Amino acid sequence: MEAITKQLLVGTSRLGGAAKLEAGEVEALLAQVQPVDQEMRLLLTAGAWAAYGQAGRKPLAAVPLPEPAPETDRPVVSPRAARILEAMFAGEHRDLLPEALERVCAAGLRLPEHLLPKALDCPDEKYRPYIARVLGARGLWLSRFHPAWAWATMTVEAGSETMPADAEEIWDSGQIRLREAVLRQLRRQDPARGREWLAGSWAGEKAENRGRLLAVLEVGLSGEDEAFLETALTNRALRVRAQAAELLVRISGSAFLQRLCERADACVSFKPATAGKITSRLKSLIGRKSSGELVISVPQDVDAAWKQEGIITAPPQGVGPRAWWLSRIIGLVPPAHWQERFNLSPAELLTATIAEEWETAVLKGLTEAATLHDAREWFGPLWDHWMGAAGLRKDESLIGTDRNEPLGPLLARMDPEDANRRVEQLIREERSTPFSWFRGLECLPRPWTPEVGRAYLAHVRDRLKKAPRVSNVEIQTLDLAARALPPECFDEALREWDVPEGNDYTLQYWRSQLEKFTEVVLIRQRFVKEVGSV
């Protein structure tokens, strides 16, 4: 057949002489066909050989079989759940995947076989940790046949309690996410060795990875890490220096912490309240008893060492450099330092009078410090102070570029029950605070508690009823709520929404947002029904 194909490829016009046919049998057949020319002879021979070839095909040789998949595995999800997941993998509401896969994992189930290639092909790295946990033994087995799926085994190993056997290999050549994971594990078991690994590869790390890997030293942090962190303080990248500083201040007795406290003490001092002072009397009139005054004196300029040690960055727009330095430095000092130094409780300290120009800087710094040092006894008083502080400036300039700072992280650190209660209260009270209820919702862990969900839905329904034509933030929160409402609130969320007739822009916006909202809630509801709300 090949010889004939070659002749056909070239064409008889370029062949010169007669076409060469190899088969005697075919030749005999051709003798019966009249008239026959070169071209037809070639074509008919090709046709005959095609049929001969088809009849004479031989099996290929077998290759050694790979090890089959383990026989015992978790049960698979129901066909309906599988179909919902299939649509998500195909890109329909892909952002619901983490929640859905988490539910699959919690129910002790795994993905069905036919979805495995799609799941393993998932291009978006952020879903991979969730996928890895529901692949089951079959999925992991499958992933070993395709180089692009190697992430699966690595992710499972990196996320397990024990160190993977090929931890060093992952550390040397894995993706940054997996390297972080093995480093975290190693730090849990053997902090010194983890530090050595990082120190060993430090010089060769990409600048953007250094900060991420350095942050892992938070696990098992101790005085032994100080020397390495001090060297990181001299790094060129600001992010690395800031990260090193944040770790060093959490090592009690570190030289850096001492230097920092000395600098902070030079800026802040406390004058206890003396009877008769006008401000304190005024404050007691409106119900806030001042404990005294925090006296602030920030130097006109800061020395190079401050800047180098990562504390100082250029202030955001609209913030004076000195206020910025102050908030940065207070943000690093453990809040307990002030308690000891001034012998005051958090609540007492927060009632101290502060000159207006420094007030927000101090408050913001303290909030950041409480979050950084996990100073839980400060969380409640700080929150109440921000929310209740009468006369607190509504100016958000110090809040920085991320509009959720610094209260968002504080909320996220809080005991979930406390956090939920506080946000619920914000929704119910409907008053203007420096940190709005919808920002609180963004920071809450998902899914929300049923209480928060109900308060939210009641509030939004109320707004729709009372002022449907007023453009408002509630409409924009529907996107978030559709994904964060807990299963307990699904029925209430799906109850008929009464958008009045009319074609105003706002009404149409309500309608389109509510339609999307309902669609997402319905998908989640169907999935929960299939997999269980575990």
Partner 1 sequence: MPLSVDQVLAMAPDAASAAAGRKLSSTKSWSGLGQNDDALWGECKGSAVYQVRVSCADWSYKCSCPSRKFPCKHVLGLMLMAAQDPAALPVGPPPQWIVEWLEKRQATAKARETRQEKKKTATMADPAAAARRAATREKRVADGLERLELWLRDLARNGLAGLEAKPFSFWDSQAASLVDAQAPGLATRVRSLAAIPGSSPDWPVRLAEGLGRTALIVQAYRRLAELSPAMQAEVRSLVGWAVSQDELAAVGEVVEDTWSVLGQVITDEDRLRVQRSWLQGRQTRRAALILQFSAAGAAFAEPIAAGTQFVGKLVFYPGACPQRARIVERGEAIELTGNAVAAPYRRDADATLEAGKMPAPLKAGEPASSLEAGRMAASPEAGRMPALLVGHDSPETFLSEVANITARNPFIERFLCVLNDVVPVHTGSGQWQVQSGNQALPLAGDGHWRLLALSGGQPVDLAGEWDGHALMPLGVMVGDRYELLPVA
| Between 53 and 299, CB nearer to partner 1 | 53
CB 358 within 8 A of CB 393: no
What is the contact mask toward partner 1 in residues 472 to 511, using x (rule: CB under 8 A)?
----------------------------------------
| Between 88 and 375, CB nearer to partner 1 | 88
Nearest Cα to 5, choosing from 22, 25, 24? 22
| Between 121 and 395, CB nearer to partner 1 | 121
What is the contact mask toward partner 1 in residues 511 to 530, using x (rule: CB under 8 A)?
-------x---x--------
User: Applying CB under 8 A, which part among 57-65, 362-370, 437-445, 468-476 lies near partner 1?
Assistant: 57-65
CA gap 273, 348 in Å, rounded:
11
Examine residue 57 and tell whether it contacts partner 1 (CB under 8 A).
yes
Query: 139: which 2 tokens?
Result: 């999925």
Residues 17-36 that bind partner 1 (CB under 8 A): 33
Coil/strand/helix, residue 107: coil
CA gap 202, 197 in Å, rounded:
8
CA atoms within 13 A on the CB side of 145: 11
CB of 404 to partner 1, least distance (A): 34
Strand 268-272 vs strand 292-296: parallel, antiparallel, or unpaired? Answer: antiparallel
Position among 18, 28, 31, 51 found at the interface with partner 1 (CB under 8 A): 51
Please count the residues of this chain forming the interface with partner 1, following the rule CB under 8 A: 61
In three-state form (DSSP H/G/I as H, E/B as E, the rest C), the secondary structure along 269-299 is EEEECCCCCHHHHHHHHCCCCCCEEEEECCC
Residues facing 353 on adjacent strands:
293
User: Applying CB under 8 A, which part among 134-142, 336-344, 399-407, 461-469 lies near partner 1?
Assistant: 134-142
| Between 141 and 386, CB nearer to partner 1 | 141
Position among 25, 28, 54, 275 found at the interface with partner 1 (CB under 8 A): 54
| Between 80 and 271, CB nearer to partner 1 | 80
Nearest Cα to 110, choosing from 148, 69, 150, 68? 69
| Between 141 and 448, CB nearer to partner 1 | 141
CA gap 260, 487 in Å, rounded:
48
Examine residue 253 and tell whether it contacts partner 1 (CB under 8 A).
no
What DSSP character marks residue 268? E
CB of 528 to partner 1, least distance (A): 15
Examine residue 66 and tell whether it contacts partner 1 (CB under 8 A).
yes
Query: 67: which 2 tokens?
Result: 């090890």
Contacts for 509 with CB less than 8 Å, ≥ 6 apart: 471, 475
| Between 13 and 432, CB nearer to partner 1 | 13
If one counts every other C-beta atom within 10 angstroms of the C-beta of residue 165, the result is 9
Examine residue 314 and tell whether it contacts partner 1 (CB under 8 A).
no
Angle of helix 97-106 relative to helix 79-89, nearest 10 degrees, comes to: 150
Examine residue 11 and tell whether it contacts partner 1 (CB under 8 A).
yes
Position among 89, 141, 342, 437 found at the interface with partner 1 (CB under 8 A): 141
Position among 22, 108, 114, 305 found at the interface with partner 1 (CB under 8 A): 114
Position among 17, 59, 123, 276 found at the interface with partner 1 (CB under 8 A): 59
Residues 376-435 that bind partner 1 (CB under 8 A): none
Examine residue 272 and tell whether it contacts partner 1 (CB under 8 A).
no
User: Applying CB under 8 A, which part among 133-141, 153-161, 308-316, 445-453 lies near partner 1?
Assistant: 133-141
Query: 55: which 2 tokens?
Result: 């009849």
Residue with tokens 């075919």, as numbered in its chain = 26
Nearest Cα to 447, choosing from 492, 415, 482, 493? 482
CB of 133 to partner 1, least distance (A): 17
Examine residue 1 and tell whether it contacts partner 1 (CB under 8 A).
yes
Position among 28, 65, 203, 390 found at the interface with partner 1 (CB under 8 A): 65
What is the contact mask toward partner 1 in residues 74 to 93, using x (rule: CB under 8 A)?
-----xx--x---x--x-x-
- Give the type of residue at 467: A
Helices (H), 319-468: 321-332, 335-342, 346-351, 356-372, 376-388, 407-413, 416-429, 437-443, 450-466
Contacts for 81 with CB less than 8 Å, ≥ 6 apart: 104, 527, 530, 531
Position among 20, 22, 27, 40 found at the interface with partner 1 (CB under 8 A): 40
CB of 114 to partner 1, least distance (A): 6
Examine residue 207 and tell whether it contacts partner 1 (CB under 8 A).
no
Query: 425: which 2 tokens?
Result: 């209260």
Contacts for 120 with CB less than 8 Å, ≥ 6 apart: 131, 135, 139, 142, 143, 146, 148, 149, 152
Phi, psi angle pair for 295, to nearest 5°: -100, 125
CB of 474 to partner 1, least distance (A): 22
Nearest Cα to 273, choosing from 376, 348, 221, 374? 348
Examine residue 56 and tell whether it contacts partner 1 (CB under 8 A).
yes
Give residues in contact with partner 1 (CB under 8 A). 1-2, 4-5, 8-14, 33, 37-40, 42-51, 53-63, 65-69, 79-80, 83, 87, 90, 92, 113-114, 116-117, 120, 138-139, 141-142, 145-146, 518, 522
